[in-house]
Amino acid sequence: MSNIKTLALGGLIALGFAANGSRAHAAATETLVVAGGCFWCVEADFEKVKGVSEVVSGYTGGKTDNPTYKDVTGGNTGHYEAVEIKYDPDQVSRPQLLHMFLRSVDPTDAGGQFCDRGDSYRTAIFADGAAAEDARQAITAAEKDLGQKIVTPVLPEATFYEAEDYHQDYYKSQETRFTRFGIKTYAEAYKLYREGCGRDARVRALWGDAAPFAQK
């Protein structure tokens, strides 16, 4: 009987360690919110990064509650198209992500990004406290490397609203719909859009070999 009790106690202890380990792992996940023009593109870029568990497309920085894509692109909400990057800081650090972000966009453009113009497509980093200081240091370093004035601001964290379901993982979705390019899967439409918008060409021209995602 005592052996059974010992085994049971050992099992409970093991479960306790497993639960604590799971909680510790969950607590280790951190987030970074950035705006880099089309959120499909930023999501596609950062989901390639080791240590990033998920990238969510959404809207932030404005005054309208629960905005829709139509609201935001209409230009009256104050929101940016943005992404929430969820990552494990033991595998990739916030400064590393900020370094990559600034070199994956045109941070000298105050009017939008590439073919997408207007306030909702501007670049920004949303951060407070130590994260904001990391962002400012990353901007200073990027400005020195580029030799040009960077206009990407560091803005206070704000409510992040997830975009509509069809925007999530748009770049790899095999759902077929009528798009601006005709009847295509979202993945096919995304590829045509990204090439047509000139995103990678501009980033390569600006950053050269330092561009982390725009290499041919």
- Distance in angstroms (rounded) separating the CA atoms of residues 203 and 211: 7
- Distance in angstroms (rounded) separating the CA atoms of residues 179 and 165: 16
Residues 6+ apart with CB under 8 A from 44: 171, 172, 190, 194
- Distance in angstroms (rounded) separating the CA atoms of residues 39 and 46: 11
Which residue out of 38, 41, 115, 197 is catalytically annotated?
A: 38
Q: CA 80 → CA 15, 121, 141, distances in Å?
A: 44, 6, 24
Q: Give catalytic status of residue 38 as yes or no.
A: yes
Instruction: Tell me 198's DSSP state.
Output: T
Catalytically annotated residues: 38
